[in-house]
Amino acid sequence: MKTHLTFSASIEAADSQRRIIAGQIVPFGEIGNTSAGKVIFEKGSIQVPALSKIKLLAQHQATASGVIGRMINLTEDKNGMYASFRISNSADGENFLIKASEGLLDGLSVGVDVLNSK
C-alpha cells in the first residue's frame, strides 16, 4: 500500500531576479514532522524521477493557480536533499517570490509517495 507524506524544510535562497527558490527539501537522519507523524528519512531512501516532472505547488495545490514552478536542480549529500526551483512568470509565481524574498513563507514542503518503510 502506497502512503503519501508531506514534509517541510526551510527556504534557503530566493532570487527574484533569476526567479529561483532553493533550499534543503529533506534532511537525512533527523526526526521530521510529516502529515503521517514523525518520520526519519535516510540517504538513498527517496527516488526522484526526471527533474522536469517535479512541480512546485503553492500550499500543495495541484490546481492551475497552485502550480508555480518546476524543479531545475537536485543534489544529495550526507545531510539531505537540496533542490532549486524555477518560478513561473505568472502573477501567482510573482506573489510567491515576493513572499519568499521577504521571509513570509515558512519553507518548502515536499510530498513523497512511500512505497516501503520500517
Q: What is the mean pLDDT of the chain?
A: 79
> Are 84 and 71 spatial neighbours (Cβ–Cβ below 8 Å)?
yes
d(CA 77, CA 98): 29
Q: Write down the pLDDT at residue 86.
A: 92
Check residues 116 and 96 and name the one with the higher pLDDT: 96
d(CA 85, CA 70): 5
Q: Write down the pLDDT at residue 8.
A: 60
pTM for the predicted model, two decimal places:
0.78
Amino acid residing at 12: E
Model confidence at 27: pLDDT above 90: no
Q: Write down the pLDDT at residue 39.
A: 84
The H or E element that residue 39 is part of is strand 37-40
CA distance from start to end of the chain: 13
